[in-house]
Amino acid sequence: MQDYNNVIDISYKRISLINRCNKYNNISKICREYWVARWYYYRWKDRFDWTQKSLRNKSRWPRISHRRTSKEIEDMILKIRDETNYWSPRIKNELELRWIFVWKKAISNILKRNSRTKVYHKRRYRSKSKHYAPYPWYEVQVDIMEVWTRRNRDWFKNTKTHYYQYTAIDTHTKLRFLEIYEDFSIYNSIDFLNKVIDFLPFKINTITTDNWIIFTHVLWNWRLKWNTLKTKIHPFTKLCMDNNIVHRLIIPWAPRMNCFVERSHRTDREEFYWMYPNVEISIMKTLVKKWQDIYNTLRPHSSLEWYKTPLQYFLDLNFTTNAS
């Protein structure tokens, strides 16, 4: 408040200087009384337009900063945003791979200035639980995601087609395996688990799934006969037992315990599926495999050291493991 009062006092002193000089024709004498030079009087007299605001000091900050990001880099940032749907930390990493260094806050301001921001709904606070994954083969999380797509030839009928993506992710290295199926079933779950065991470069210790019927019979006892409950084992669990894998189930209605695979599904929706809204399942199977290779070998991961890729992070661990 003190600085504002000083500005007001200076403007009043300048008004009084101009008024006295206009009243008395001896400008040199009046300027000596105010301890100012004659050019000071003529300067503010030319600027004075009979308002107090005209006698205040104007800002000396440049209208366009010389430190502002160049137009070429701004266009590159917006292009990366439109093609990949990345946010400022990921875009910063993409630019560093091209030897272009821009602050994360500057990238965020560029996206906001060009209306490229994300809108999230406010969520209630939940206590964060820490997940223990000391080595790569400790835990693999498995889940399915329903993918909806609209076919071009049926757009006038307002009909939708959908298929299911099976996902397996290692909680330590973030290596993922994806597969597309037309429907979800116990047979597809067993087929997917066999492919996961063959794909991962290490022997799996634990597999974590939810309590859906394609993975377990625990929450579906009322659908089964009571006489066979004690002896019947789910085929998915039996396959895990045959391969010396522990099948762990999460708490019912608690997807946060399967957080790694759930978060990877969000990445699929934001960075992959939004680019292919009208694709047949036969073509999508090929595209998903390409996206899997990009995720494992090319896409940097923010939770790994210095934005490493999952495969690069696994190779840097130098673990001596038995192939599955």
Asked if residue 92 and residue 207 are part of one domain, the reply reads no
What would the mean pLDDT of 146-159 be, rounded to a whole number? 57
229: pLDDT confidence band, cut at 50, 70 and 90?
very low
Average pLDDT, the chain: 83
- Residue 305 has what pLDDT? 80
Indicate the pTM of the whole model.
0.69
Checking if the pLDDT of 236 tops 50, the result is yes
HEC sequence for 38-107: HHHHHHHHHHCCCCHHHHCCCCCCCCCCCCCCCHHHHHHHHHHHHHHCCCHHHHHHHHHHCCCCCCHHHH
- Residue 137 has what pLDDT? 83
Q: Is 121 domain-assigned?
A: no
Asked if residue 92 and residue 24 are part of one domain, the reply reads no
- Residue 157 has what pLDDT? 46
**CA separation, residue 197 to residues 96, 140, 227, 244 (Å):** 36, 10, 33, 11
| Highest-confidence segment of 131-140, 222-231, 276-285, 307-316 | 307-316
- Residue 97 has what pLDDT? 85
Checking if the pLDDT of 29 tops 70, the result is yes
Q: Is 124 domain-assigned?
A: no
The domain in which residue 98 lies consists of 71-113
Asked if residue 183 and residue 259 are part of one domain, the reply reads yes
Q: Is 204 domain-assigned?
A: yes
* Listed residue (239, 270, 8) closest to 119, CA to CA: 270
Helices 38-47 and 2-23 pack at an angle, to 10 degrees, of 100
What is the CATH number for 167? Answer: 3.30.420.10
- Residue 90 has what pLDDT? 86
Q: Is 131 domain-assigned?
A: no
Q: Are 317 and 136 in contact (CB under 8 A)?
A: yes
- The residue type found at 250 is I
Q: Is 118 domain-assigned?
A: no
Asked if residue 91 and residue 230 are part of one domain, the reply reads no
297: pLDDT confidence band, cut at 50, 70 and 90?
very high
Asked if residue 263 and residue 234 are part of one domain, the reply reads yes
- Report percent pLDDT > 70 for the chain: 84
Asked if residue 147 and residue 96 are part of one domain, the reply reads no
- Residue 8 has what pLDDT? 56
1: pLDDT confidence band, cut at 50, 70 and 90?
very low
How many structural domains is the chain composed of? 3
22: pLDDT confidence band, cut at 50, 70 and 90?
confident
Q: Is 23 domain-assigned?
A: yes
Condensed to tens digits (0 to 9), the pLDDT of residues 71-84 reads: 999 999 999 998 88
Asked if residue 301 and residue 212 are part of one domain, the reply reads yes
